Amino acid sequence: MVSDHDLEVELRFVRAHAAGSLAGVFGPDSVTWRVNREAAIFLGAGRALLLQLAHPWVATAVAEHSQIFADPIGRFRRTFKLMFTMVFGTLDQALGAARSLHRRHAAITGVMPMAAGPFATGSRYWANETSALRWSMPHSSRQRRSHTVLSFRRFRPKTKRIITPKAARSRGCSGFRKPACHRVGRVSPPTTRRCGDPTR
């Protein structure tokens, strides 16, 4: 479980390694900025959501705590507002958004209404549990990033070399990796080729 204390420890790490107080966590020269500023990133939202919902805890929490069915557009806007604040905001804005998300997740807990995979009926779930965060965050980020890269290849061939070379993708993966892993309390960043893959 990622506690308030755990979060603050990791946010101090992020602050120490951030691009700057105004540039935020990543900075305008980062691949993270260059990918996330493109409208094509919205194409990956659906696939990211499906992969997140593949985890029984996430699916149950969404069904029991989210307003996504009553207000899907509002939920969509709030999600991307938070994400864009963490990516493009000043350092204080980005860290404030991380704290806000952590507080919101702290209130999301419950019991499994039925057995699903390894989770028995009546077992508890928590949104801030480390394994749930490791599943949700990397899958969401990777799918949005993958769709943006594929869209560049398909619709903007002249700019293909700006964003899609292996080295650039690797830098984007690395740029996301440290803040994300420390956000969820992981001891060290993943080193596999699939950035953030919780199964590797």
Pull the structure tokens for residue 17. Answer: 């390694």
pLDDT at 138: 59
Q: Is-contact 32 175, C-beta < 8 A?
A: yes
How many whole angstroms separate alpha carbon 140 and alpha carbon 132? 12
pLDDT tens figures, 5-46: 999 999 999 999 999 999 999 999 998 898 888 887 787 777
pLDDT tens column, 62-85: 999 998 889 989 988 998 899 999
Spatial contact of 107 and 99, defined as CB atoms under 8 Å apart = no
pLDDT exceeds cutoff 70 at 191: no
Q: Which two tokens stand for residue 51?
A: 């992969």
- The predicted pLDDT at position 167 comes to 46
Nearest alpha-carbon partner for 116 in 74, 60, 199, 200: 60
User: Which is higher by pLDDT, 35 or 196?
Assistant: 35
pTM for this predicted structure: 0.72
Please write the tens of the pLDDT for every residue from 85-115.
999 999 999 999 999 999 999 999 999 999 9
At residue 126, the 3 state secondary structure works out as: strand
